[in-house]
Structure 1
């Protein structure tokens, strides 16, 4: 009887040991589950941000480049997939109209443009605007630099074209930049490239707007963007009810 009892306890012990191993193998204990959940919650946003395709820098030996302002990384602010991220090393490829960020391991990550609401870098705020929704139907969907965000909004589409020239039997890439400025009056945007076209948008205040440029000594041809923003901002003040 005593031997039989010992045998029963022996098999019960094996059963409990086996059950304990299955629980340990099936998942974390209560002590470890909570920290793991916290880690997943804290990193879920950044994992979404760094989940893009790898970007390969092209024409990296050319003097001119495809990026906005600088070829080097600059920290910026990014609104991506409904979440805001600060101090993110980024580059803006103007030629392809794409935003690139730097991964922790040094890789270049290409973000999905449709998930970007806006990004701020080098004192410029770029918003992604869709044709027929935020801008005119004939305007191109993409990132626009917001120069003035008042009632009469002013934006600029910065583009680069890729050109090639041969020097000493080597192909050199050139990236001339062009800036297309648009002023929103009412429900539509109007392209503005000259002083005349800017003033014609506000015919009732032409005299006052010319005077502002003269008083502030702003030369339109030398400082086109500053001149247009000054005209638009002054108009908003004069037209204020």
Structure 2
């Protein structure tokens, strides 16, 4: 049961949203990621107070979000407090997490540095600064696709690109994606079969055989194949 308290009261002024009290979660899980935060969120209005997401023209081709423009419901850790059942989407053009107000009227950008994690059905999102093999990479949101001994992280960004064909001009979102594997505390860039074999050269022959037997593709099915290979690598190190 949720407590019955005041409904969200939103004011729009100069692209800023402000909120009053919202429903409170009666109970939250005490284990896993949530266990590192307080058990009870006193008030959810803080999530819906801030800068509004800019609107995009309907004529633009594609969308500026990680994988879908639809909102997904998940758990959000914000300012050390866990909020359940929050509708979210990641705007990778702005590199900002967007939350949808309960009345579905406001699309609010929340401060990235105050996000502990966002747990969604397909992946977890973290705002962090991972260290690469030779250099530090910019702070930003990374999607953790696999959480194991060798974690797999995905970083996406989208830029607007103009395409001209004859008399037709189209503005579209173009995505740039990179993947990182955390091995022994160090983040290594991976792009496909060759970079994986180089990273796990001690198991090169076994990995080649496994990839061939499983018919893994690093084209359209790259994410799934990367996860499958990492899961297999983890079993090899247990032998």
Matched residue, 2:122: 123
Matched residue, 1:217: 215
| Deviation (angstroms), 1:156 | 1.1
Structure 1 residues 70 and 177: CA distance shift in structure 2, 3 A: same
- Residues 111-167 of structure 1, C-alpha deviation per residue, up to 9 Å, x if partnerless? 0111111113352221111245x9975212111111211112211111212112357
* Aligned-partner SS, 1:126: strand
* 8 A Cα contact 1:182 1:192, kept in partner: yes
Please give the root-mean-square deviation of Cα atoms over the aligned residues, in Å: 2.9
| Aligned positions, number | 204
* 8 A Cα contact 2:182 2:188, kept in partner: yes
* Aligned-partner SS, 1:175: strand
* 8 A Cα contact 1:94 1:158, kept in partner: yes
* 8 A Cα contact 1:180 1:193, kept in partner: yes
* 8 A Cα contact 1:67 1:94, kept in partner: yes
| More strand by percentage | 2
* 8 A Cα contact 1:78 1:85, kept in partner: yes
Aligned equivalents of 1:236, 1:101: Cα separation in 2: 35
* Aligned-partner SS, 1:176: strand
Q: Which has the larger radius of gyration?
A: 1
Gaps of 5+ in 2: 7-20, 25-40
| Deviation (angstroms), 1:170 | 7.6
Structure 1 residues 204 and 172: CA distance shift in structure 2, 3 A: same
**What's the TM-score once normalised by structure 2's chain length?**
0.74
| Deviation (angstroms), 1:174 | 0.9
Aligned equivalents of 2:136, 2:219: Cα separation in 1: 27
Gaps of 5+ in 1: 1-34
| More helix by percentage | 1
| Deviation (angstroms), 1:192 | 0.8
Aligned equivalents of 1:216, 1:47: Cα separation in 2: 48
* 8 A Cα contact 1:131 1:137, kept in partner: no
**What's the TM-score once normalised by structure 1's chain length?**
0.73
Divergent runs of 4+, >4 A: 39-44, 134-137, 166-171
